[in-house]
Amino acid sequence: MTKLSVNINKIATLRNSRGGDVPNVVQFAKDVQRFGAEGITIHPRPDERHIRYQDAYDLEPEVYTEYNIEGNPIPKFIDMVLKIKPTQVTLVPDAVDAITSNAGWNTIKHKDFLIDVIKEFKANDIRTSIFVDPDLHQIEGAKATGTDRIELYTEAFAHQYSLGNKIAIDPYVKCADLANNLQLGINAGHDLSLENIKFFKDNIANLLEVSIGHALIAESLYLGVENVIKMYLDKLK
């Protein structure tokens, strides 16, 4: 079984665009869990342009599935994760001004840093995952950090798949095989969607969790808009 963790960053983006509390991020998390989601993912960024640090605290009592907090382990992020103690922390090497995540860790160059940070989270019973490109050297490097899991960065796969290039799954299959041999748990995320998720899941052995946000929220709009238009028209009769 592969768990679906819903990334709710985009709900916060929408809320922030009006400055109020619509849509309500905590209510949305409660609803998606009620609808069957097996986890909630957030990725607070230093500029707090979507999910804010306060949201991370507000969500903590309401997330009864797996709570996954992603981010660059700057001191403020580490402090927050240690206070909240989510199910999982996913370390992502984002630049401060990154529009979205655009690369995995260089697990060889940052080995010592990752070992220290991961040790602290694990000592606090927080499962760790690190975001990596589908590169065998980076998977070996990830193992050396002591992390429980890796999150395969799936943007390259998703882009090529949308162009019809199914061969783009190959490096992910090889990395997953190596990770399984090394007894690293495997998560995946970034640009996964209704279009590509089944093919990805069917090809990756022991895929434990996917975190999906951008496409899932867009698809929810597409698939829900007909119903809402009808409801408005009904009220305007």
Ligand X SMILES: CC(=O)[C@@H](O)[C@H](O)COP(=O)(O)O
In whole angstroms, the minimum distance from the beta carbon of 230 to ligand LD2JLWAY comes to 28
Annotated ligand binding at 18? The verdict is yes
Buried/exposed code over 175-193 (b: 16+ C-beta within 10 A; e: otherwise): bbebbeeeebbbbbbbbbb
Annotated ligand binding at 52? The verdict is no
Tokens for 112, please give them: 């010592």
Smaller CB separation from ligand LD2JLWAY, 169 or 217: 217
> What span, in angstroms and rounded, lies between the C-alpha atoms of 78 and 201?
31
Q: Under a CB-based contact definition with an 8 Å cutoff, are residues 237 and 204 in contact?
A: no
In whole angstroms, the minimum distance from the beta carbon of 55 to ligand X comes to 13
Smaller CB separation from ligand LD2JLWAY, 168 or 227: 168
DSSP string across 84-129: H--SEEEE----TT-SS------TTTTHHHHHHHHHHHHHTT-EEE
Smaller CB separation from ligand LD2JLWAY, 39 or 141: 39
Binding partner selected for residue 142 from ligand X, ligand LD2JLWAY, none, CB under the kind-specific 5 to 8 Å limit: none
CA angle 109, 97, 72 (to 5 degrees): 45
In whole angstroms, the minimum distance from the beta carbon of 155 to ligand X comes to 7
Binding mask 143-182 for ligand X (x = CB under 6 A): ----------------------------------------
Annotated ligand binding at 41? The verdict is no
Is 168 a binding residue for ligand LD2JLWAY by CB under 6 A? The answer is no
Which listed residue (66, 151, 190, 209) is catalytic?
190
In whole angstroms, the minimum distance from the beta carbon of 235 to ligand X comes to 33
Crossing angle for the helix pair 111-123 and 136-145, nearest 10 degrees? Answer: 50
Which listed residue (66, 70, 151, 209) is catalytic?
70
Smaller CB separation from ligand LD2JLWAY, 100 or 181: 100
Q: Under a CB-based contact definition with an 8 Å cutoff, are residues 121 and 89 in contact?
A: yes
The CB density around residue 130, as the number of other CB atoms within 10 Å, is: 28
Is 131 a binding residue for ligand X by CB under 6 A? The answer is yes
The CB density around residue 229, as the number of other CB atoms within 10 Å, is: 10
Smaller CB separation from ligand X, 42 or 169: 42
* Residue 164 phi, psi dihedral angles, 5° rounding: 95, 5
Mark whether 159 is an active-site residue.
no
Report strand pairing: 66-71 vs 39-42.
parallel
Is 212 a binding residue for ligand LD2JLWAY by CB under 6 A? The answer is yes
Residues serving a catalytic function are 43, 70, 190
Q: What residues form the annotated binding site for 1-deoxy-D-xylulose 5-phosphate?
A: 45, 50, 100
